[in-house]
Amino acid sequence: MNYISTRGQIEPVSFKDAVMMGLATDGGLLLPERIPTLSAATLDVWRELSYQQLAFELISLYATDIPADDLKDLIDRSYATFDNREITPVVHEDGVYILELFHGPTLAFKDVALQLLGNLFTYLLKERGEKMNIVGATSGDTGSAAIYGVRGKENINIFILHPHLKTSPIQALQMTTVTDANVHNIAAKGTFDDCQNIVKSLFNDLPFKEKYALGAVNSINWARVLAQVVYYFYAWFRVTDNGGANIVFSVPTGNFGDIFAGYIAKRMGLPISKLLLATNENNILTRFINDGDYSLGDVVQTASPSMDIQLASNFERYLFYLYDENPARVRDAFVQLAQTGRIAFSEAELAQVRNEFLSRSVNQVETLETIATFHKATGYLLDPHTAVGVRAAQELVPTDATPICLATAHPAKFGEAVEQATGIAPPFPQALAGIDRLPSRCVVLDADRAAIKAFIEEKAL
């Protein structure tokens, strides 16, 4: 299958090329030329598959230029690092199903995609006899998951930007205590949006991108979104096995990537009733869905820092479909955003959005309250991001629907917030034991494109 740009100004490329490019050379994001549509009979067959088997069946529809045996091996090796045989198990607590996405090596949902992406990079670099300098931005979890996906691997350097002192302490330690020679952590004195904008500008600098063979691990890389599509199918099968119907997925998100994976699953024919987009005070996406207001504001620091984002990079992919796959409309929208700080939508477009999505903004008081009340009712500890999704589901999902809430991180990663809410410090899993005593390495720089570009030039392969 070939891949096209949301901005329509490049020739179609293969899946392998899409993985290696990350961002299209015209500044757009890559998407498959078509979304496969699945029959009810196929869904019945897939219901019986293990997670790894399901991942193979789904990803092979899109990665048509990777031999089947190679793809199976890549998938099996990627999920061998998880501590639960189901990879993304589903539990039932207090009237909601919780899809646990934190059983990978860094205890966050990003592992599901980035363990696979790291292995894909290694496979393709070896095949091509090439080297790569990965550059990415993180609001907390992407960075550590990406680092663990490629640490120590040959022919790869990784540079991860995170906002200085604006992640949780555990998130920062998970990145900076990985001291492999190919890992470079950059703490930028700014916001996640500053970091993300710098990364995108470096990829848009085509001579720089080509000279240093830049690779993308942020959710601008289509392979990341594709890997996340799998767990929507897996969770739907587990819950409908138990008689659930009229499924609503509640997704805490700031960058639109995780919920966009659910949107792709729905376009493929997975019977999802609604996608519930849950935000914190950084609620540009909620304002878009509920009020038609996609306008940039200031980033607010919260107890759910991975969602402290204003400019959602994967939103462009959704616009491509909202605009009937018209790349000129996408280009015009982002010109409008650059000039005015907002994108305007017609009433017909907003009606289509609301047919597909619900949304709720959950503030910090509500988040901590939800952690406390949910724990009191069930004994189950929610991390603050998952609590945002649970609260939104409790408020918006109708009684005749079954909510599946995505648990995006282990509560121990945000122990201060959990302890503030419940009075209980979540127990540290083995993966975090002694992490605060490990040696660390990180450089602190201004959120300045030139300074960060110079650092990458100095350290690049």
Bridge partner list, 184: 159
Pair type for strands 247-252 and 272-279:
parallel
Secondary structure class of 302 (helix, strand, coil) = coil
User: What are the start-end ranges of the H helices in 379-437?
Assistant: 384-396, 415-422
d(CA 23, CA 220): 6
Hey, what are 253's tokens?
Answer: 């998100």
Check 16, 72, 110, 211 and give the catalytic one: 110
Residue 110 a catalytic site member: yes
CA dihedral (276, 279, 284, 289) in degrees, to 10, reads: 20
Tell the burial category of 243 from Cβ atoms under 10 Å away from its Cβ (0-12, 13-18, 19+): exposed
Please tell me the number of Cα atoms within 13 Å of 264 on its side-chain side.
31
Displacement of CA 306 from its chain's centroid (Å): 10
Contact 428, 412 (CB under 8 A): yes
Furthest-apart CA pair in the chain: how many Å? 58
Q: Which residues are the active-site residues?
A: 110
